[in-house]
């Protein structure tokens, strides 16, 4: 019907779906259109969430600094949004992941602290925690705080059981695999990443499936069991093809 608010919402939702499905060129286009429309009609919550999703896409593509600029614009929009706490929590979680990817652990810890504080003050949101808990596990591992990482990992696993979502199960197994590597338990890590990869494939999340395959290849190279070198080469090649296809649209 051409209603700007409805179009902006549909474009934001479509962008999230296109991203997960691996159609990154299309995702970027519709998310940028969503941001533009939300700005034109002055809907701060929609603008902030569209910027968060767009920044997440660019982070996955390796455009880390541009993504951070978008997240910062999102924070400005979120500060005047009706859904302020929800928007800020999601943005801080995404900023945490971005800085981890950039190797800036101090900055990642800073944004995680902001996200956790926002969540504690304004109530718990399952959608926000789907971003916060995995990021918290990764930050604590980077800091060598494995006991704290275990706590966040268990919270994520409990949430996965509660919501009975395959996507949540995938995230929980991925986080458990990351923590198992930190403990030097390569067998558990490999099993967890294999489960996570399959679950992500089932939900259509090619990007996270590729990340799991990359982790599995690295584990096999460390383990050096018979056949590991050949399988690791195959897994790394599969992950590379997926990521190349994603970035090529």
What is the per-residue pLDDT across 188-211, written as a single tens digit (0 to 9) for each? Answer: 999 999 999 999 999 889 899 999
**Pair (118, 151) in one structural domain:** no
**Pair (118, 156) in one structural domain:** no
CA 185 to each of CA 77, 89, 168, 200, 219: distance values in angstroms, whole numbers, following the listed order? 43, 32, 23, 22, 10
Mean pLDDT for 123-138 is: 83
| Cα-based angle 121, 123, 124 (whole degrees, multiple of 5) | 125
**pLDDT of the residue at 113:** 96
Residue 132 lies in a domain: no
**DSSP-H helix ranges across the chain:** 4-21, 24-41, 44-60, 64-78, 84-101, 105-122, 126-143, 146-163, 166-182, 186-202, 206-223, 228-248
Lowest-pLDDT range of 19-23, 109-113, 124-128, 240-244: 124-128
**Pair (52, 166) in one structural domain:** no
**Pair (97, 149) in one structural domain:** no
Tokens of 247: 């970035």
**Pair (161, 199) in one structural domain:** yes
**Calpha distance 56→202 (Å, rounded):** 21
**pLDDT of the residue at 183:** 97
Mean pLDDT for 155-165 is: 89
**pLDDT of the residue at 242:** 92
Q: For residue 173, give the CATH number of its domain.
A: 1.25.40
Residue 138 lies in a domain: no
Which of 75, 98, 125 is the C-terminal boundary of a domain? 125
Mean pLDDT for 97-116 is: 96
**Pair (5, 111) in one structural domain:** yes
Number of domains in the chain: 2
**Pair (54, 4) in one structural domain:** yes
**Pair (72, 118) in one structural domain:** yes
Residue 136 lies in a domain: no
What pTM was computed for the model? 0.92
**Pair (63, 179) in one structural domain:** no
Residue 131 lies in a domain: no
Per DSSP, the three-state class of 112 is helix
Mean pLDDT for 91-111 is: 97
Answer left, alpha or beta for residue 81, where phi above 0 means left and psi between -120 and 50 means alpha: beta
Residues 6+ apart with CB under 8 A from 68: 55, 95, 98, 99
Which of 68, 93, 125 is the C-terminal boundary of a domain? 125
First to last CA, the chain: 29
Is there a contact between 53 and 28 (Cβ–Cβ < 8 Å)? no
Mean pLDDT for 19-38 is: 92
Percent of the chain with pLDDT over 70: 97
**Calpha distance 247→24 (Å, rounded):** 7
Q: Is the pLDDT reported for residue 247 higher than 70?
A: yes
């Amino acid at each position: 019907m051409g209603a700007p608010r409805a179009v902006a919402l549909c474009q934001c939702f479509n962008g999230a779906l296109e991203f997960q499905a691996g159609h990154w060129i299309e995702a970027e286009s519709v998310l940028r259109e969503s941001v533009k429309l939300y700005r034109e009609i002055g809907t701060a919550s929609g603008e902030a969430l569209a910027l968060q999703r767009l920044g997440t896409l660019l982070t996955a593509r390796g455009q880390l600094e541009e993504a951070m600029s978008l997240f910062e614009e999102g924070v400005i929009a979120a500060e005047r949004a009706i859904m302020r706490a929800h928007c800020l929590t999601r943005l801080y979680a995404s900023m945490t992941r971005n800085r981890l990817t950039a190797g800036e652990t101090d900055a990642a810890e800073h944004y995680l602290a902001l996200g956790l504080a926002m969540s504690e003050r304004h109530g718990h949101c399952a959608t926000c925690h789907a971003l916060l808990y995995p990021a918290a596990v990764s930050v604590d591992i980077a800091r060598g705080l494995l006991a704290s990482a275990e706590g966040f990992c268990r919270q994520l696993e409990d949430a996965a059981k509660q919501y009975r979502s395959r996507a949540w199960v995938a995230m929980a197994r991925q986080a458990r695999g990351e923590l198992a590597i930190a403990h030097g338990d390569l067998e558990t890590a490999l099993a967890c990443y294999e489960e996570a990869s399959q679950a992500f494939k089932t939900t259509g999340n090619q990007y996270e499936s590729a990340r799991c395959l990359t982790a599995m290849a690295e584990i096999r190279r460390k383990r050096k069991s018979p056949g590991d070198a050949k399988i690791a080469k195959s897994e790394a090649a599969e992950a590379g093809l997926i990521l190349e296809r994603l970035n090529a649209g």
